Structure 1
Amino acid sequence: SGHGEHIYLMLEKRNMTAMEMFNAVARHFGVRRSAVGYAGLKDKQAITRQIVSVHVPGKRPEDFPHFEHERVTVLWADLHENKLRRGHLAGNRFSIKIRDVEIAQTRTVLRAIQTLERVGVPDRIGAQRFGYLGNNHLIGRALLSRDARAAIDLMLSPSDHSPEVQNEAREHFAAGRFAEARKCFPRNYRTEWAVLGALANGEHPEQAIDAVEPDLLGFYISAFQSAVYNAVLDRRVLAGELGTLMPGDVALDRQGRKPFDIDEVALTEEDLLARYSRFEFSASGPMWGAKMRRAKDRVGQVEAETLASFGVDPGRLPDPSDLDIPMVGGTRRPLRIPLENSEVEGGGDEHGTYIRCAFDLPRGA
């Protein structure tokens, strides 16, 4: 807006987490991390652009030295009245160059993108939800089963996926040397360090698990729900049914709210089908919990079978009042998201030929 207490910066980063970039910005401007605002988090393994805000009352961009960082470039700076916050993001624009392909394949890529525009993009939950060990969902399953010992073993036992700096600590844990494991575990892994401290003090696993912050326990539950959701989504995609409404579906609006059931009668309503084709709503998948709205008919059967394949009985899910952990009640999540404003072109640069795809996806996708 050209005036206000917040400096807005359009930043381009590469091979850097969003949090690392926010911390670098805070250090440059000499402000607390909380003074840096943002609307969303961008991936590390990509070249990404986003706007951040910095609260510096009475200052202008020219009052500060130019922000220089080997992995961040400032594209522009301006003043604004408001801090950027989560939720202010409408969506993301992606531009992807596919290498080692023949330009003649551009039409094939175009047809694929057009199919995604018509059917939707599977709203799969990414691998980061499952943690650096790739087992957050298994920890969540153990928590749902009230098996604290199994949850802690999954957190702290030796793993082929753990960072080398943790190996000695994990070996101590496996041998029951909890105090030694705590001394060896890096302090920045606060959850593991806290649980080991409780075990070293003689607490039982059922007590030690309370050292984990409730929000993180909820994240583990969410990881388990996500694994089951992804499996349901995969079955739907493989069956060619991602873009198809089916009897028994629970539909959600574009914001993932206002659930309503789909039955045979609904599938005869032309207005409803037209709204579906415009992505005003979508069929949903399960983020399982005792309070979750369940699908019916064959859709519900597939969802229940998928949960059972993960070793959890749909009829024995814990009531939220029995486990004081966020997410236990469950919810539903749209199975697809809209892809809009697509571009596909073939070209070449100093690195060789490529096919470039560009498109918009909603926030969080």
Structure 2
Amino acid sequence: LEPEDFLVEEMLGFEPAGAGEHVLLKVRKRAANTLWVARELARLAGCRPVDVGYAGLKDRHAVAVQWFTVPRRGRAVAQWPGAGGEGFEVLEAHAHARKLPRGALAGNRFRIRVRGLEPPTEALDARLRAIRARGVPNYFGPQRFGRHGSNLRDLPEDPGALRGGERGFVLSAARSLVFNAVLAERVRQGCWEALQPGDRAILDGRGSHFAVEALDETLRQRAARLEIHPTGPLWGRGTPGAAGAVLELETRVAGGYSRACALIEAAAMDPQ
């Protein structure tokens, strides 16, 4: 496989401010790690790596176009396009008002090249039609758990034992582990894409969500059109988002991952 077989482009949910103390950079990277690119941008900007903002991590084994911010210091905005290093290049630069926070995206656009696949045409068409009609279960991928699952190895009881950037990676992996387990159970039960009373539904392409207290025909039709979707738990300490039978399922499944849940709760992370 080549990095060009997997292309991903971040889509911002806002326009650059055009003024401010930061520079918003559109960067293309090939076979490069997001954190390494962030460190290189910090070196070019003359700032600390912690001052570099990015919305999320992108696969190393890919060609990715993603956004970063750096403090607006010695290098003028107009000097950034074309800057770069091994495996990455700055495509655009815009003055911006603030550091780019995690998750500040409207979404990601993917292009995937599949090699060596020779299924019967009718079977492939049928599968693609099913995906268009129902979507796919949205599991967290293996990169969330680190190389060979290293982010989940030897989970501590005390989150204070996690140092620096390790803390965020481990806690995120622990929450993703529980989420995937709940999703797998809903897939097993055949209800992963069906809204149920007690779910929290999310609007397609947006962060807005709401509690499903009762199902009516309007909600069913909106779900069938993929305008809204059921969500799964990002575990935390406090009042959960789900209710009723959905909450019972989530709690039962999470009980099989008590060490991960205990670590998340000890870190005082809010449920989502």
TM (norm. structure 2) is 0.69
Partner of residue 69 from structure 1, selected from 59, 82, 85: 85
**Is 1:276 paired with 2:218?**
no
**Is 1:285 paired with 2:229?**
no
Amino acid at match of 1:245: L
| Alpha-carbon distance in 1 for matches of 2:209, 2:134 | 21
1:110-189 paired onto structure 2 within 5 Å: 110-132=125-147, 134=149, 136-137=151-152, 139-140=154-155, 143=157
**Is 1:260 paired with 2:260?**
no
Partner of residue 196 from structure 2, selected from 221, 246, 249: 246
| Alpha-carbon distance in 2 for matches of 1:290, 1:28 | 40
**Is 1:12 paired with 2:28?**
yes
* 1:166 corresponds to: none
| Alpha-carbon distance in 1 for matches of 2:243, 2:81 | 57
Partner of residue 326 from structure 1, selected from 263, 268, 272: 268
* 1:359 corresponds to: none
**Shift in Å, 1:16:** 1.1
**Shift in Å, 1:318:** 10
Count, aligned residues:
251
| Alpha-carbon distance in 1 for matches of 2:145, 2:59 | 15
Asked whether the 8 Å contact 2:24–2:96 carries over to 1, the reply is no
Amino acid at match of 2:211: F
**Is 1:22 paired with 2:15?**
no
Asked whether the 8 Å contact 1:39–1:84 carries over to 2, the reply is no
Residues 246/16 of structure 1: CA separation in 2 closer, same or farther (3 Å cut): same
Asked whether the 8 Å contact 2:78–2:93 carries over to 1, the reply is no
**Shift in Å, 1:12:** 1.6
**Is 1:40 paired with 2:56?**
yes
Amino acid at match of 2:195: L
Residues 138/70 of structure 1: CA separation in 2 closer, same or farther (3 Å cut): closer
Q: For 1:302-351, what per-residue CA distance to the aligned partner results, in whole angstroms no more than 9, with x for missing partners?
A: 43442344467x9xx7996xx4x222x6x24xxxxxxxxxxxxxxxxxxx
* 2:185 corresponds to: 235
Asked whether the 8 Å contact 1:137–1:225 carries over to 2, the reply is no
Gaps of 5+ in 2: 1-15
**Shift in Å, 1:37:** 3.8
Identity of aligned residues (%): 30
RMSD: 4.0
**Shift in Å, 1:102:** 3.6
| Structure 2 SS opposite 1:25 | helix
Q: Which has the larger radius of gyration?
A: 1
* 2:109 corresponds to: 93
Residues 2/133 of structure 1: CA separation in 2 closer, same or farther (3 Å cut): closer
**Shift in Å, 1:21:** 1.0
**Is 1:296 paired with 2:247?**
no
Q: For 1:165-189, what per-residue CA distance to the aligned partner results, in whole angstroms no more than 9, with x for missing partners?
A: xxxxxxxxxxxxxxxxxxxxxxxxx
TM (norm. structure 1) is 0.54
**Is 1:307 paired with 2:254?**
yes
| Alpha-carbon distance in 2 for matches of 1:218, 1:40 | 12
Gaps of 5+ in 1: 149-208, 333-365
**Shift in Å, 1:65:** 9.5
